[in-house]
Amino acid sequence: MPLVSLDIQDQLPPYTKSMNDDEDAPRRRWWHGLPICLTISLILSPHPSVIYTLTTYYLQLLHSPWRFAQHIIIIYALTFLAFSSLMVCAIRDPGPVSSPKDVQGDEEGLNAETSLTEALIAPPEDEYGAPGKWCRKCWAPKPERTHHCSLCGRCVLKMDHHCPWIGSKCVGHWTYPAFLHFLLSVTLLSLYIFLVFSRIVWIAFVDPFLIDETTAIHALFLAVMGAVFTLSIGSFFLYHVYLTSTNQTTLESLSPFLLLRYLPPLPQPPDSPSQRAIRLSDPPEEHELSSSQRRHVRKAHSKVHMYDVGWRRNWLQVVGCKRRKHWIIRALYGGGGCGDGKSFPRNPRAEQMLSRLASKLVDEDKLR
């Protein structure tokens, strides 16, 4: 018999029962699939023009089947890589907080009983806002760097952002490498199409009688389309290269006030009638800050990267492999994240910088 056994299912509030089922999760409608259909259409739409232009120019005009085959192989290889990682992002769970091993019953011991009981009992009030403590919406434990997605109605491990273009799903710990792979594949595909067909456009302008008008129009369409997607998707990919190199997520990069969760206990004034108590909560809330205090937080956010442990170790956390054969998986579709997605090493310099920020916030509060 287990030492701890509580019959509390009927005593739980309604929002607690939803932790074990998806009754309260937002329903997926048919229009949620429209963005990913548009993504697939944009990837496939250039290919009729690609086939026509390459056939007309390299086979009929230049009589060069080798160069024709070379361009076809590279273009469709990059297309395959883009679709493989897109499929992973659309199908794989981005980051379940509880794995099947965590929630299945263990009849040989009391670990499963006690862990379930601890998960259903709310923590103290001061732990709600702390990082990696508790989610009020899921009413369940929330590991570090986990965020609740209101569109998906669930918590996601190391959530980066919610992306409608990959099937209206979140990009999380287990799909972020595949998402990077998808951005890189689309960028390389667009860049290659731009380079190949812009050359044909240039030849059409230099010698108008060499290439017919239809081929030139198709080549111009492909060159413009390749340039547009190279600039747009390429800049987005470079932004994520920066995020990976500094070990940030999109939410952490765009939300400076998330730093407030990691502040150490605020320094309290001595017990003296001349020293009034500070008016800030511990940790402070964003709405409590003055304009000058907000400036201090934004300035600290540009310097304090909580999980930055050096760019090499940062990249190893995302795409690192323990075995050499796993690099084949990384090359094909990006693979999944490294580690459990629930604990991450922190920047050793962050604690000192956060202590300075806490002191500045308290000093500003005294002047208000």
158-200 pLDDT, tens per residue?
999 999 999 889 999 999 999 999 999 999 999 999 999 999 9
DSSP H helices in 9-126: 14-17, 34-44, 47-54, 65-91, 100-103, 111-120
DSSP-based three-state secondary structure for 162? strand
* pLDDT (tens place) for every residue of the chain, 368 residues total: 444 444 434 433 333 333 434 445 667 777 878 999 999 999 999 999 999 999 999 999 999 999 999 999 999 999 999 999 999 999 999 999 875 444 344 333 334 333 444 444 445 544 544 565 788 888 888 899 999 998 888 999 999 999 999 988 999 999 999 999 999 999 999 999 999 999 999 999 998 888 999 999 999 999 999 999 999 999 999 999 999 999 999 999 999 999 998 988 887 766 544 445 567 777 888 888 889 989 999 999 999 999 999 999 999 999 987 777 788 888 999 988 888 899 999 999 999 999 999 988 888 877 76
pLDDT for position 17: 38
CB 83 within 8 A of CB 43: yes
pLDDT for position 7: 45
What is the Cα 253 distance to its own chain's centre? 11
pLDDT for position 257: 92
Q: Among 323, 322, 319, which Cα is nearest to 333's?
A: 319
pLDDT for position 3: 44
Residue 273's identity, in one-letter code, is P
Taken in order 151, 152, 154, 157, is the CA torsion positive or negative?
Answer: negative
- Tell me the CA end-to-end span of the chain in Å, nearest whole number: 60
DSSP-based three-state secondary structure for 108? coil
